[in-house]
Structure 1
Amino acid sequence: MFWSLEAFAARFFGFSDPARTPLPASVADATAWLVASGQLNIPVAETDANDVIGHRVIERGRHLARQDMWAQLSHEMREADEARKTTPCGQPLTDLLAFGARSDVVLAAEHALSDYKAVCDYDLLGGISELEGEIQNHRNDPMIALVVALAHIDLAWAWRGTAHPEALPPLHQSRCTAHFDRAAALLPGCRAAMPDSPAIAAADCALLAGHITPRTRVSDKYEALITLEPQNHRHMRAMGSHLLPRWFGSYEELEVQALRNAARTQKTWGAGGYTWVQFDAIALDDEACARVDVEYFLEGLRDIVTRRPDQQTINLLAAYCSVTLQNRMGQNPSADTAREQICAAADWLIRDHLTELHPLIWAHAANGFNNSLRVNSAERFAARGRRDALRAIANLLREELHSGQSVTFTPTGLQFSGN
């Protein structure tokens, strides 16, 4: 049972009459009251290590590009790629460096295309032309070519926007296609030069969204990427999403490839390879959720926790079970049956493994971990995530809190005190 804040307050504290509500003016809801009163205590990671590291690496890439230090950028990207360096949540540092290096060009184009002025008022080719020039200045450098290819993919998405491809104006459609085509022309040379590069393999998979032929086998592309970097769950999650019928696959292929992935990555993830492939797919698609092997999914969930018990992962899984899967509840009875069983895992995830709160993870969970989401205020976004997390935790521990006990999350587990 998931309580609304109003029902929670009325049930536990008798707050049905505003005149009797003993909440301080600065406290917005009953869950915040629990925290303020000391009845619910959990450390909050106000500074996310991923954000700090990621921002620093992006800025490093931007700085090197602005200073025309492309050879140094290439060296650092290659070094990070070969060492499989990532942030704590699995973001490859090579990708972050590449994003920083192309960000000025891409963000300027995105801003121009989001403006209501005529597109012809802007020079949308100047920036990418300068990046193309770096290929000429650094011939046969696959890392520089990768940056340019990724910039073209980003620009293709900027021209496509959120509209259905068939509804795009002719200019937008032609520019979108041209950018995808140029990226497709650049990546084979990158692959030939560095066949064992996960960054290049990931770009190859990113290209699928706009440049796919009848001969393309999506699962083969992702299998190659996952083989190069099996410890990075992001690749498995992306494969699952792309194997949905709305993209390039079918429900049958999704299940088969999830099982194959579990077998291929068994040494790294146990049954978790199945869970990661299904992770975003069943959150996006009711039919995929109705068909998922719940028992094996939950076995994979436990294997993930055994192999990756860090708080980044625990918050991700707990938020997924508590928030993400709840979003589509009530849309499909068969899917709801699976969702309810998976959501129940939030109990042991939070009670047995959660020791600190990562608000941004919970905030992203409410939006289905949508990577394209534009966040106008990181502070408000994090505050929303914190509220969602505390409400989920308070609902889970409602019996203990109702009895008057104080609940404290510690590195060694939950501690209860009071009545």
Structure 2
Amino acid sequence: MAVEHALFDGRPARGAPLLNGVEALEVMLAEADNDMTLSTIVAQAHMDIAWAWRGTGWDTQVPKRHRDAFDAHFDRARDILAPFEMRSCTSPILAAAKCALHGSGKSTPNQLAADYEKLIDLEPRNPGPMRAMGNYLSPRWFGTHAQLELEARRTASRTQHIWGAGAYTWVMFDALSGDDIACADLDLDFFVEGLHDILDRKPHQYTVNLLAAYCANTIGSNLTGYDPADQTRTRIAGCADWIVRKHLTELHPLIWAHAANGFDNNLRVRSARGFAAAGRAEALRIIADLFRREIAQGHRIIFTADGPVAEHS
């Protein structure tokens, strides 16, 4: 509960019982006799608490007290995981925790990329590590545009038999948000090919909603006035049209709500119901705009098991 409380607010409230929660986990850990799974869970809890203290702002915006707490929790997580170092080569959960440790900023970009490469090779069908690696390799965090591009291409090459070009898209997915240079330098044709390949290989509705909301909102609503980047954003936003028309059969409001807020994991959400309602309204607004021509001609849009269909009212 202490971890959830911290993450709910995006930063710990004054007097929040953080130590009580983590101390209970530490007691369980002490009684577990070096249990790898429990150790990984407790280490991840420390890292979650660390991020709750820090938030996702720039380093210069983080108060010293919060930064010290962030570092202390990451140091404890690192100590907990240290005895299992050799087993991270075969255990996805341990490899994921080891990768999460790079969030402390105490390793080199090459070390970060190498550890994420191992994790991705253990779980090549899971796009989560690809997205996380791309985010951390962006200049916003610990990498460079050149290294981001290199690792996106290397990951696409290693997973081509599973994702086609999709891994390039997954690695670039979060790194593009708010980064003019990354958008301007993007291999746009390769990225769009990846969108097609992802949906050809993983066509379930969670992914369809995720990609449609990302294209239309996360990218499409963030024009900055820098023409080379905005041209890329405009074309990516245009992909929402074929994604919705060809693939969308149901609406997942929470995904659209998260997309409208840049997929910020530290976002303060006071009401899940209100958040979902806002996501639904945003999705319907965007979808109505995609079908504005049909609607202007007097049609109504019906979503069927085969996708949206325009019918006369």
* TM-score normalised to structure 1 length: 0.69
Could you tell me which runs of 5 or more consecutive residues in structure 2 were left unpaired when the two chains were aligned: none
8 Å contact kept, 1:145–1:190:
no
8 Å contact kept, 1:208–1:218:
yes
Return the alpha-carbon distance in structure 2 between the equivalents of residues 312 and 215 of structure 1: 31
Counterpart amino acid of residue 189 in structure 2: E
Counterpart amino acid of residue 244 in structure 1: S
8 Å contact kept, 1:407–1:417:
yes
8 Å contact kept, 1:362–1:389:
yes
The answer for the alignment partner of 2:120 in structure 1 is: 226
Residue by residue, what CA displacement relative to the aligned partner does 1:28-73 show, whole Å, maximum 9, x if unpaired?
A: xxxxxxxxxxxxxxxxxxxxxxxxxxxxxxxxxxxxxxxxxxxxxx
* TM-score normalised to structure 2 length: 0.91
Assess, with a 3 A threshold, how the Cα gap between structure 1 residues 138 and 193 changes in structure 2: closer, same or farther.
Answer: farther
The answer for the alignment partner of 1:276 in structure 2 is: 170
Return the alpha-carbon distance in structure 2 between the equivalents of residues 157 and 356 of structure 1: 33
The answer for the alignment partner of 1:288 in structure 2 is: 182
The answer for the alignment partner of 1:106 in structure 2 is: 3
- CA displacement at 1:194 relative to structure 2: 5.3
- CA displacement at 1:172 relative to structure 2: 3.6
Assess, with a 3 A threshold, how the Cα gap between structure 1 residues 204 and 284 changes in structure 2: closer, same or farther.
Answer: farther
Residue by residue, what CA displacement relative to the aligned partner does 1:352-401 show, whole Å, maximum 9, x if unpaired?
A: 11111111111111011112222111111111111111111111111111
The answer for the alignment partner of 1:125 in structure 2 is: 19
Work out whether 1:242 is the aligned partner of 2:242.
no
- CA displacement at 1:251 relative to structure 2: 0.6
Residue by residue, what CA displacement relative to the aligned partner does 1:219-256 show, whole Å, maximum 9, x if unpaired?
A: 11111111111111111111111111121111111111
Deviates more, 1:221-230 or 1:184-193: 184-193
Q: Give 1:270-349 correspondences, 5 Å limit.
A: 270-349=164-243
Counterpart amino acid of residue 369 in structure 1: F
Return the alpha-carbon distance in structure 1 between the equivalents of residues 61 and 311 of structure 2: 60
The answer for the alignment partner of 2:13 in structure 1 is: 115
Deviates more, 1:210-219 or 1:176-185: 210-219
Deviates more, 1:198-207 or 1:186-195: 186-195
Work out whether 1:394 is the aligned partner of 2:288.
yes
Residue by residue, what CA displacement relative to the aligned partner does 1:330-367 show, whole Å, maximum 9, x if unpaired?
A: 33211111111111111111111111111111111101
Assess, with a 3 A threshold, how the Cα gap between structure 1 residues 375 and 218 changes in structure 2: closer, same or farther.
Answer: same
Assess, with a 3 A threshold, how the Cα gap between structure 1 residues 377 and 412 changes in structure 2: closer, same or farther.
Answer: same
Off by >6 Å, runs of 4+ in structure 1: none
Higher relative contact order (CA 8 A, sep 6+): 1
Return the alpha-carbon distance in structure 1 between the equivalents of residues 94 and 119 of structure 2: 9
- CA displacement at 1:140 relative to structure 2: 2.1
Counterpart amino acid of residue 192 in structure 1: M
Assess, with a 3 A threshold, how the Cα gap between structure 1 residues 167 and 397 changes in structure 2: closer, same or farther.
Answer: closer
Counterpart amino acid of residue 393 in structure 1: I
- CA displacement at 1:180 relative to structure 2: 1.1
SS at match of 2:177: helix
Supply the RMSD in Å over aligned alpha carbons. Answer: 2.3
8 Å contact kept, 1:149–1:183:
yes
Counterpart amino acid of residue 260 in structure 1: R
Residue by residue, what CA displacement relative to the aligned partner does 1:106-153 show, whole Å, maximum 9, x if unpaired?
A: 245667x7434xx6xx76534323322222211121111112211221
- CA displacement at 1:168 relative to structure 2: 4.9
SS at match of 2:22: helix
Return the alpha-carbon distance in structure 2 between the equivalents of residues 268 and 312 of structure 1: 18
Which of these residues, 277, 292, 313, is aligned with residue 383 of structure 1? 277
Q: Which has the larger radius of gyration?
A: 1
- CA displacement at 1:287 relative to structure 2: 0.9
Assess, with a 3 A threshold, how the Cα gap between structure 1 residues 190 and 346 changes in structure 2: closer, same or farther.
Answer: same
The answer for the alignment partner of 1:371 in structure 2 is: 265
